[in-house]
Amino acid sequence: MTAPFWAALSAGVLTVPTCDECGRTFFPPVIVCTHCAGSWKWGEATGRGVVYSFSVVHRHDALPTPWVLAVVRLECGPLFLTRLVGIEPGAVEVGLEVVLQPTSDGDGTLVPTFGPATPEVVSR
Amino acid sequence: MAGVYATRQARSLAPATSLELILEAVRGAVADAGLELGDVDGVAVDWPGPGGLVGDCASWAPVIGHELAWVGSAQLDNAGARGVLKAAAAIQAGLCDVAVVGGGQSGAYTSNVDPGAVTEFVTWTGASVMAQFALVAQRHMHEFGTTPEQLATVAATIRNNGSVNPEAIMFERGPYAVRDVLASRFVAEPLHLLDCCLVGEGAAAVVLVAADRRPDLRQPAVELLGGGMGFGDGGYVAPPSLTKAREVGTSAARRMFGLAGVRPSDVDVFCLYDATSFEVIHHLETLGVCEFGEGGPFVESGAIGRDGSAPVNPDGGCLAFAWNGTQQMTLKVIECIRQLRGTAVNPVDRDVDVAVATNAGSGANHIEMAVFGK
């Protein structure tokens, strides 16, 4: 069900489940549209959004700290859990405009991280 | 609510096995009720093995010594408010007469940063349990101006209850001031180390009986007055959001108080899910003890102390008494019953006629609650 998401991401495109019936989007994917229970297909999202909430993580087994966990409100509506990259943790705030900026995880997999939409907001 | 028992709670209880601890809790709760193991005919108790299918409550039949009339379906059904509500429903439906709810763990957890479940769109981020709770807290601070000092007030109040509870893992640690909490290192902002709950081991069990068994009991009767549950999503699947946290549980609280015929202001003690300091604010708001968004000033007023208008977690909660996996939920029920019986280690500064337990988890995706009375 989710292979198309990762295939699109490797081309730098964020996709989200888009309902065949009501046209609305949601995330994460489940078997039917969470708004109307209709069938859905992966549809292209803009990759833009704003930070709904975030946490600067200081203690972690795997990733070098500090790093920023964030929930992004995508332009098309759904909330998306991600990590923020390319920005000083101290510069992150709720409402910050961000854009999809995929990065390579440890094993070479591309993951859907986000970065600041405007380059000047990299540090504060 | 006829019998309760909690084993010793500690960071590690090795070499005791989970099953040994759970058996101690089951036997203890049955004895506390003044009953025999053979009286039990309903079981919602963790079965960790060895022997039998892990998680299969029917594995208790040979231990109890006879066929069971009703079993739970493992995991969260065996714990806390949810376990008690389902067992009570089974008793009320006439499916069994004496039910045990509980479980425990020894040696199961080695890390407090892995939610355990593998969920494709969460796991890659590396989001720990605490970081997921932090996301909800941060949004609450953004929307309502809730402050780190208000979160720290919760942590200090509950931890100070634990520091004078000899049964608590953190007994004699502290006392803590708000500034001590704020001075502890960050785990996941806005949560400091002292805003986050313990990780430990232990077991717990409670016994429920049909009303007509009351004359057989050793303890003063405590009644389950009502309850409610809300489930917004599976665990750790979707990003935790304050929006969802505000929805999930609100109707459960209405249902619970409606069934019981009591109001939030009638409650004398609250045993609330305190995985983090913020969760207490979240649960007070969900229960309607204060308005949404007003939990910060409410806790800062001193209301949640043992001498306050809404005492919370007088035993020290998950922050300082114990967290032992899912059975921390049963510990909340046990503390309610001990407060009602007048046998709690740290009684609150008022007569207790009504007590509320809440359980939750997975960021903010589910909540279960029960209200008890004399």
Q: Which CATH code for domain A46-124?
A: 2.40.50
Q: What are phi and psi of A77, to 5 degrees?
A: 125, -50
Question: What number is the average pLDDT over the span B144-154?
Answer: 98
Question: What number is the average pLDDT over the span A86-104?
Answer: 97
Contacts of range B260-263, beta carbons closer than 8 Å, 24 or more positions apart: B260/B225, B260/B226, B260/B354, B260/B371, B260/B373, B261/B225, B261/B226, B262/B225, B262/B354, B262/B371, B262/B373
Q: Which of residues 105-124 of A touch B (CB under 8 A)?
A: 105, 109, 111
Q: What is the pLDDT of residue B110?
A: 47
Which one is predicted more confidently, A64 or B214?
Answer: A64
Is B187 in Cβ contact with A71 (below 8 Å)? no
Question: What number is the average pLDDT over the span B248-256?
Answer: 95
Taking the CA of residue A34 and the nearest CA in chain B, the distance in Å comes to: 11
The Cα B249–Cα B365 span in angstroms is: 9
Is 60 exceeded by the pLDDT of residue A114?
yes
Is 60 exceeded by the pLDDT of residue B114?
no
- When pLDDT is cut at 50, 70 and 90, the band that residue A105 belongs to is confident
Is 70 exceeded by the pLDDT of residue A58?
yes
What CATH number should be reported for the domain holding residue B335? 3.40.47.10
Question: Would residue B65 count as lying in a domain?
Answer: yes
**Alpha-helical runs (H) found in chain A:** 3-10
Residue B333 structural domain: 3-109+198-373
Is A58 in Cβ contact with B125 (below 8 Å)? no
Q: What is the mean pLDDT of chain B?
A: 94
What residues of chain A lie within 8 A of the CB of B127, using their CB?
Answer: 69, 81
Cβ-count burial of A55 within 10 angstroms (0-12 exposed, 13-18 middle, 19+ buried)?
A: buried
For the segment A68-92, what is each residue's pLDDT rounded down to a tens digit? 999 999 999 999 999 999 999 999 9
Question: What number is the average pLDDT over the span B302-321?
Answer: 98
- When pLDDT is cut at 50, 70 and 90, the band that residue B111 belongs to is very low
Is 80 exceeded by the pLDDT of residue B371?
yes
For the segment B342-366, what is each residue's pLDDT rounded down to a tens digit? 999 999 999 999 999 999 987 778 9
Count contacts between A and B (CB, < 8 Å).
91
Question: What number is the average pLDDT over the span B43-55?
Answer: 92
Is B255 strand, coil or helix?
helix
CB B195 within 8 Å of CB B277: yes
Domain boundaries in chain A?
1-45, 46-124
Omega of the bond leading into B15 within 30 degrees of 0 (cis) = yes
Question: Would residue B234 count as lying in a domain?
Answer: yes
Question: Would residue B353 count as lying in a domain?
Answer: yes
Q: Tell me what percent of the residues of chain B surpass a pLDDT of 90.
A: 84
What residues of chain A lie within 8 A of the CB of B276, using their CB?
Answer: none
Q: For chain B, how many structural domains are there in total?
A: 1
Question: Would residue B311 count as lying in a domain?
Answer: yes
- When pLDDT is cut at 50, 70 and 90, the band that residue A122 belongs to is low
Question: Would residue B348 count as lying in a domain?
Answer: yes
Question: What number is the average pLDDT over the span B291-309?
Answer: 98
The Cα B101–Cα B85 span in angstroms is: 10
Q: Which residues of B96-130 are buried (b: 16+ CB within 10 A; e: fewer)?
A: bbbbbbbbbbbeebeebbbbeeebebbebbbbbbb
- When pLDDT is cut at 50, 70 and 90, the band that residue B104 belongs to is very high
Question: Would residue B205 count as lying in a domain?
Answer: yes
CB B371 within 8 Å of CB B257: yes
Q: How far is CA B298 from each of CA A26, B258, B280, B348, rounded to the nearest angstrom?
A: 35, 24, 11, 18
Of A63-67, B159-163, B276-280, least confident by mean pLDDT is A63-67
Q: What is the pLDDT of residue B245?
A: 83
The Cα B337–Cα B360 span in angstroms is: 19
* DSSP E strands, B19-113: 42-45, 70-71, 98-105
Q: What is the mean pLDDT of chain A?
A: 94
**Alpha-helical runs (H) found in B228-352:** 242-247, 250-260, 277-287, 295-300, 328-341
A83–B contact, CB cutoff 8 A: yes
CA B361 to chain centre: 10
- Spatial neighbors of A92 by CB under 8 A, at least 6 apart, are A51, A54, A56, A68, A70, A84
Q: What is the pLDDT of residue B75?
A: 79
